[in-house]
Amino acid sequence: MNVQFKKGVIELLVLSLLNRKDRYGYELVEAISQSIEIAEGTIYPLLKRMTDEGYFKTYLQESAEGPPRKYYQMTTKGRTYFDELRKEWREFSKSVEKILGE
Amino acid sequence: MNVQFKKGVIELLVLSLLNRKDRYGYELVEAISQSIEIAEGTIYPLLKRMTDEGYFKTYLQESAEGPPRKYYQMTTKGRTYFDELRKEWREFSKSVEKILGE
DNA sequence: CCTGGTACCTTGCAATCCGAGGTACCTTGG
DNA sequence: CCAAGGTACCTCGGATTGCAAGGTACCAGG
**Predicted local confidence at residue A65, as pLDDT:** 84
**Predicted local confidence at residue A66, as pLDDT:** 85
Specify the amino acid at residue A86: R
Mean pLDDT (chain B, rounded): 94
Query: For the residues A73-100, what does the mean pLDDT come to?
Result: 96
This prediction's pTM: 0.92
SS3 of B34-99: the string is: CCCCCCHHHHHHHHHHHHHCCCEEEEEECCCCCCCEEEEEECHHHHHHHHHHHHHHHHHHHHHHHH
CB spacing of A12 vs B85 below 8 angstroms: no
Nearest nt to the CA of A40 via C1' is D19
User: Quick one: how far is CA B102 from the chain centroid?
Assistant: 32
Query: For the residues A33-37, what does the mean pLDDT come to?
Result: 94
Establish, for the pair of chains A and B, how many residue pairs have beta carbons separated by less than 8 Å: 92
Contacts of B8 in chain A (CB under 8 A): 2-5, 7
Question: What proportion of chain B, given as a percentage, has pLDDT over 70?
Answer: 100
